[in-house]
């Protein structure tokens, strides 16, 4: 039953993705206006994030920025349906700029292994497909609560082409990643998901303490692997989406033995990426829901949004 429901979901995604892009874009923009009019969860969370990290903005400027973020987020949703249901080779043709490919190729030749830190910036599903076209890799993911949702994700990500192992974010999965790195392989990690209590350290992110995974730093320190920041940025334009893919070296301290230094460096690198195109970062996520125990205000800043 689970696989059947996932197949139906895929069929629906395939059908939607075949609509012309101008219609999908207009639908996304209309849904963004509806989110704002109905004060949907995504609008409330985005507004609260902007209140937390952009306090210098007046209310009108904050609302305008929120609207732009929501439009961008929903356009990305429809983009992703297209990416999931088209051949990977067709999708890769939408990447019209690649910056730092030599750096990536050099890291592949390095026997120490490679960790790709892929922030929630731009379209990370297209990034996955580009990575799969370059090398075999394992991608760490947090399984959805729904079994149908997980089956659907496994189905659509199988479209990435190449050899991609999807590894659940649990103890057994971490061992798989470490062994791959020790063999000189490649792993991909989304570094800006809030971990569970006890699995991270607090470090500044846009000026506020954010619980940040220590896993990436531990893997880098134990394996000696290189760490690169990679993201796929949507380019301006009104036609079908085109992208620029970026590869940059992560701060060296992400592999520090001190977990606090490692997460501070990781957040610094991710923040620098997000500042490159602020509205393409995932601001609908409750990044600051956990606060450090010594914080003067330990209240979950989203508590009134539930």
Question: Percentage of the chain surpassing pLDDT 90?
Answer: 76
**Structure-token pair, residue 109:** 């030749």
- The answer to whether residue 297 scores a pLDDT higher than 70 is no
Q: Are 190 and 86 in contact (CB under 8 A)?
A: no
Between 152 and 82, the higher pLDDT residue: 82
Cα 81 from Cα 17, distance rounded (Å)? 6
In the prediction, which pLDDT does 109 show?
Answer: 94
Around Cβ 10, how many Cβ atoms within 10 Å?
18
Match 């939607």 to its residue by tokens.
16
Write the pLDDT tens digit of every residue in 27-54: 999 999 999 999 999 999 999 999 999 9
Confidence of residue 158 (pLDDT cuts 50, 70, 90): confident
Which whole number is the average pLDDT over 63-79? 97
Is the pLDDT assigned to residue 216 strictly greater than 90?
yes
Summarize the confidence of residues 55-68 as an average pLDDT: 97
In DSSP notation, 83-117 reads HHTS-HHHHHTTEEEEESHHHHHHHHH-TT-EEEE
Burial class from Cβ neighbours inside 10 Å (0-12, 13-18, 19+) for residue 47 reads buried
CB 190 within 8 A of CB 119: yes
Between CA 52 and CA 291 the distance in angstroms is 13
Q: What CA–CA distance (Å, rounded) separates 260 from 253?
A: 10
Q: What is the mean pLDDT of the chain?
A: 92
Assess whether pLDDT exceeds 70 at residue 296.
Answer: no
Of the candidates 280, 272, 221, 281, the residue with the CA atom closest to the CA atom of residue 249? 272
Residue 67, pLDDT above cutoff 70: yes
Q: How confident is the model at residue 61 (pLDDT cuts 50, 70, 90)?
A: very high
Measured N-to-C along each axis, helices 215-223 and 259-276 cross at an angle, to the nearest 10 degrees, of 110
SS (H, E, C) 6-61: HHHHHHHHHHHHCCCHHHHHHHHHHHHHHHHHCCCHHHHHHHHHHHHHCCCCCHHH
Q: Which secondary structure element, helix H or strand E, spans residue 183, and what is its range?
A: none
Helix H or strand E encompassing 191: none
* Neighbouring residues of 52: CB distance < 8 A, sequence distance ≥ 6: 206, 208, 288, 301
Q: Residue 200: what pLDDT? A: 94
| Distance from C-alpha of 157 to C-alpha of 41, rounded to nearest angstrom | 27
3-state secondary structure string, 113-132?
CEEEECCCEECHHHHHHHHH
What SS3 class is residue 5?
helix
Q: Does the pLDDT of residue 292 top 80, yes or no?
A: yes
What's this model's pTM, rounded to 2 decimal places? 0.93
Q: Is the pLDDT of residue 203 over 90?
A: yes
Name residue, tokens 């394992």.
Answer: 138
């Amino acid at each position: 039953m689970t696989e059947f429901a996932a197949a139906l979901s895929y069929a629906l995604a395939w059908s939607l993705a075949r609509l012309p892009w101008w219609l999908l874009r207009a639908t996304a923009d209309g849904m963004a206006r509806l989110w704002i009019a109905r004060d949907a969860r995504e609008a409330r969370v985005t507004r609260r994030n902007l209140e937390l990290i952009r306090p210098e903005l007046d209310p009108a400027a904050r609302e305008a920025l929120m609207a732009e973020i929501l439009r961008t987020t929903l356009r990305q949703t429809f983009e992703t349906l297209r990416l999931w249901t088209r051949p990977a080779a067709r999708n890769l043709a939408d990447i019209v700029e690649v910056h730092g490919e030599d750096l990536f190729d050099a890291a592949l030749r390095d026997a120490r292994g490679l960790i790709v830190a892929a922030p929630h910036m731009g379209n990370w599903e297209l990034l996955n497909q580009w990575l799969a076209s370059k090398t075999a890799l394992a991608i760490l993911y947090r399984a959805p609560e729904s079994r149908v949702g997980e089956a659907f994700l496994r189905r659509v990500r199988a479209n990435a082409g190449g050899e991609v192992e999807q590894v659940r974010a649990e103890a057994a999965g971490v061992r798989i990643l470490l062994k791959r790195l020790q063999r000189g392989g490649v792993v991909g990690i989304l570094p800006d998901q809030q971990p569970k209590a006890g699995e991270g350290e607090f470090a500044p992110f846009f000026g506020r303490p954010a619980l940040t995974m220590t896993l990436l730093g531990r893997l880098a320190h134990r394996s000696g692997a290189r760490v690169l920041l990679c993201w796929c940025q949507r380019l301006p334009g009104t036609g079908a989406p085109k992208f620029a893919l970026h590869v940059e070296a992560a701060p060296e301290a992400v592999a520090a033995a001190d977990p606090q230094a490692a997460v501070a460096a990781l957040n610094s690198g991710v923040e620098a990426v997000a500042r490159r195109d602020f509205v393409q970062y995932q601001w609908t996520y409750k990044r600051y829901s956990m606060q450090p125990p010594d914080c003067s205000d330990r209240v979950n800043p989203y508590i009134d949004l539930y």
